[in-house]
Amino acid sequence: MAIDTLRQVELQHLVAEVRRAARTLRAQTRLERDTVRRTLTDALRNDLEPTAEKDLEGLEAIRVWASALEDADVGDADLLQELLYGIDALLRVHLWREAGLLLVPPEARTAADF
């Protein structure tokens, strides 16, 4: 399935948000973690599920990890971070299989990112 440019930008934004959430999780309050967790699980369900056609197994894996993220204790930063990085990887591979988006590894962070 070919996707249009706007949809590609939306999906790449979702990938970036998951990665940002994983990287910044430890600096967040419990309330911020809860908000991010809920926002991302909603986005994963609402933005991916209706459009998946080719990679149903990948989508199912994302669903399982998103459910685990939703159920995780916001005080368990290690678990939340592991889940977010896992979702990031699953999401990137899913989008590659589903829509042909490039698999780009993470870039080194600059001093401005710290």
Q: Which two tokens stand for residue 53?
A: 């056609």
Q: Is residue 114 part of a domain?
A: no
Give the angle subtended at the CA of 67 by the CAs of 95 and 59, to the nearest 5°.
25
Reference 10, options 105, 103, 109, 101; nearest CA is: 101
**Is 72 within a domain?**
yes
User: Given this model, what pLDDT does residue 7 score?
Assistant: 77
The whole-number pLDDT of residue 3 equals 66
> Residue 6: what pLDDT?
83
Residue 55 lies in a domain: yes
- Domain membership of residue 110 (yes or no) is no
pLDDT by residue for the chain (114 residues), tens only, comes to 556 788 778 888 999 999 999 999 999 999 999 999 999 999 998 887 666 778 889 889 999 999 999 999 999 999 999 999 999 999 999 888 887 877 877 778 776 665
Cα–Cα distance measured from residue 33 to residue 25, given in angstroms and rounded to the nearest whole number: 7
Amino acid at 4: D
Q: Which domain holds residue 42?
A: 5-101
Question: Concatenated DSSP letters for 23-85?
Answer: HHGGGS-HHHHHHHHHHHHHHHHHHHTTT--S-HHHHHHHHHHHHHHHHS-TT-HHHHHHHHH
pLDDT of 10: 85
Residue 112: inside a domain:
no
Asked whether residue 45 is domain-assigned, the answer is yes
Single pTM value for the model: 0.86
Residue 49 belongs to a domain: yes
pLDDT value of residue 43: 92
* pLDDT of 112: 66
Cα angle 67-27-44, degrees, rounded to a multiple of 5: 25
pLDDT at 14: 92
Instruction: Decide if 42 is inside a domain.
Output: yes
- Into how many domains does the chain fold? 1
Nearest residue to 44 via CA among 79, 71, 5, 10 = 10
